[in-house]
């Protein structure tokens, strides 16, 4: 299924289940067919109508020549409109950062849940360059898509540099290179230096659940706590025994319980 965003970009989505509407917002490298997101959609479909969409520039969605975060907020607004005009929203990783910015912009989000939005609020991890977005955009323009993926994996996702070589030899590398340009979008969504956008978060009116995995880095748990402290009506929960790539069967129950109440 498709909707058209405000700038004319086509946004593809799958609709499944029945019940109150829930929209899923993916993070980096993912589209609606990714096993985590497809699995989460299937699990939540048991009691919700789930809208699992491809963010612009990936999957079956279109794109535009220039990018601004506002365009992605409009994409999410178009999916929510297709869902009936309001919906609960879940965003994972940088998708969580996008969902928070969308809620701050006033989208009709009834409840919001985010898992490990990658904001950096202390020195528990290495900083990200203030001009990281610009650096990645330059590499994309130069056609150095593999270098974009490597830089993002090492500098943003904290993948050890020695693991990049084996990743380049994996069957997944070409697919990662294919969406390298969208990593510029992720950097834009997270903002310069991945700083916590406190002024934006204070505008969020939707009840919000910030989640983090107990096996994730301390900085991700700190980010979740900070989000819950900045959003007026929010709570923070740690899911023990899980990391950043949490399995859908572990994530679906707390999300269902939150969206159900």
Q: At CB < 8 A and 24+ separation, what contacts does 173-181 make?
A: 173/146, 173/149, 176/29, 176/149, 177/145, 177/146, 177/148, 177/149, 178/145, 179/29, 179/31, 179/57, 179/58, 180/140, 180/145, 180/146, 180/148, 180/149, 180/152, 181/57, 181/140, 181/145, 181/148
Q: What is the mean pLDDT of residues 55-59?
A: 97
Write down the pLDDT at residue 261.
79
Residue in this structure with the two tokens 């405000």, named with its chain if needed: 6
Q: What is the mean pLDDT of residues 31-36?
A: 96
- Provide the percentage of residues in the chain whose pLDDT is more than 70: 100
Q: What is the mean pLDDT of residues 214-233?
A: 97
Q: What is the mean pLDDT of residues 101-129?
A: 97
- Nearest residue to 151 (alpha-carbon basis) of 197, 194, 195, 187: 187
Write down the pLDDT at residue 108.
98
Query: Cα 216 to the chain's mean position, in Å?
Result: 16
Write down the pLDDT at residue 4.
98
228 pLDDT exceeds 90?
yes
What the block records as the tokens of 71 is 């365009």
What is the distance between the alpha carbons of residues 78 and 8, in angstroms, rounded to a whole number?
A: 11
DSSP 158-170: ---GGGHHHHHTS
Write down the pLDDT at residue 193.
97
DSSP 34-85: SHHHHHHHHHHTTTSEEEEEPPTTSTT----SS--HHHHHHHHHHHHHHTTS
As a whole number, the mean pLDDT across the chain is 97
CA distances from 41 to 32, 242, 256 (A): 9, 19, 11
The H or E element spanning position 12 is strand 10-16
175 pLDDT exceeds 90?
yes
First to last CA, the chain: 29
What is the distance between the alpha carbons of residues 111 and 21, in angstroms, rounded to a whole number?
A: 10
127 pLDDT exceeds 90?
yes
Q: Are 24 and 40 in contact (CB under 8 A)?
A: yes
What is the distance between the alpha carbons of residues 146 and 140, in angstroms, rounded to a whole number?
A: 9
What the block records as the tokens of 206 is 């939707």
120 pLDDT exceeds 90?
yes
């Amino acid at each position: 299924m498709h909707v058209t965003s405000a700038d004319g970009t086509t946004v593809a989505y799958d609709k499944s289940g029945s019940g109150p509407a829930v929209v899923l917002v993916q993070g980096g490298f993912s589209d609606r067919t990714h096993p985590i997101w497809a699995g989460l959609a299937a699990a939540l479909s048991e009691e919700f109508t789930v809208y699992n969409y491809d963010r612009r520039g990936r999957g079956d969605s279109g794109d535009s020549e220039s990018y601004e975060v506002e365009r992605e907020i409009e994409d999410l607004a178009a999916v929510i409109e297709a869902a009936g005009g309001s919906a609960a929203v879940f965003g994972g990783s940088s998708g969580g950062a996008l969902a928070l910015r969308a809620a701050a912009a006033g989208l009709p989000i009834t409840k919001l849940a985010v898992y490990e939005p990658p904001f950096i609020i202390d020195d528990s991890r290495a900083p990200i360059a203030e001009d990281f977005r610009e650096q990645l955009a330059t590499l994309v323009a130069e056609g150095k898509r593999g270098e974009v993926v490597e830089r993002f994996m090492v500098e943003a996702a904290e993948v050890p540099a020695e693991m990049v070589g084996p990743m380049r030899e994996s069957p997944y590398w070409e697919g990662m290179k294919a969406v390298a340009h969208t990593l510029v979008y992720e950097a834009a969504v997270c903002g310069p230096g991945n700083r916590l956008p406190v002024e934006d978060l204070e505008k969020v009116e939707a009840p919000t659940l910030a989640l983090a995995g107990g096996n994730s880095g301390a900085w991700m748990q700190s980010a979740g706590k900070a989000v819950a402290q900045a959003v007026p009506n929010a709570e923070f929960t740690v899911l023990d025994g899980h990391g950043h790539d949490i399995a859908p069967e572990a994530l679906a129950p707390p999300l269902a319980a939150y969206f159900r109440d």
